Amino acid sequence: MTKNFVLIVNSSPQSQGARSALKFTNAALELGHHISQVFFYQSGIYNSNALCSPASDEFDVIKQWQLLHQQHRIELITCVAASLRRGVVDQALATDQQLSGHNLADGFRLGGLGEFVTASATADKLIQF
């Protein structure tokens, strides 16, 4: 039976939690399940920072999230309030807040907790990492 999952990622890209979220997402998709949204919150916001640059011999979690988005059109939403507090903004928010630049990685978009709550209410399972 196909299930619809929503994930919330609170773990930074350097943590095991972010990698586990990626592995879970890939495994669920391979089994034919649907991932309607991955919501990044707290330290999970850093998974959407385009300025992160891991060493060449390290696993690039951000790039893997971007590939998932490209291949499966999974919504990658970062909490706008948590992102602003952590210095991860898109061009529109940078302009609105009169910041010198923007750094939200391609494939991610800013959104509110309301979107997360709505997606969670219609999901079969909510998984937190």
Question: Which residues are designated catalytic?
Answer: 79
Give CA separation, 24 vs 4, 44, 53, 95, 122, in Å: 13, 16, 23, 36, 19
Single-letter amino acid code for the residue at 26: N
The beta strand positions in 46-111, using DSSP E, are 75-79, 108-111
DSSP state of 82: H
Type of residue found at 47: N
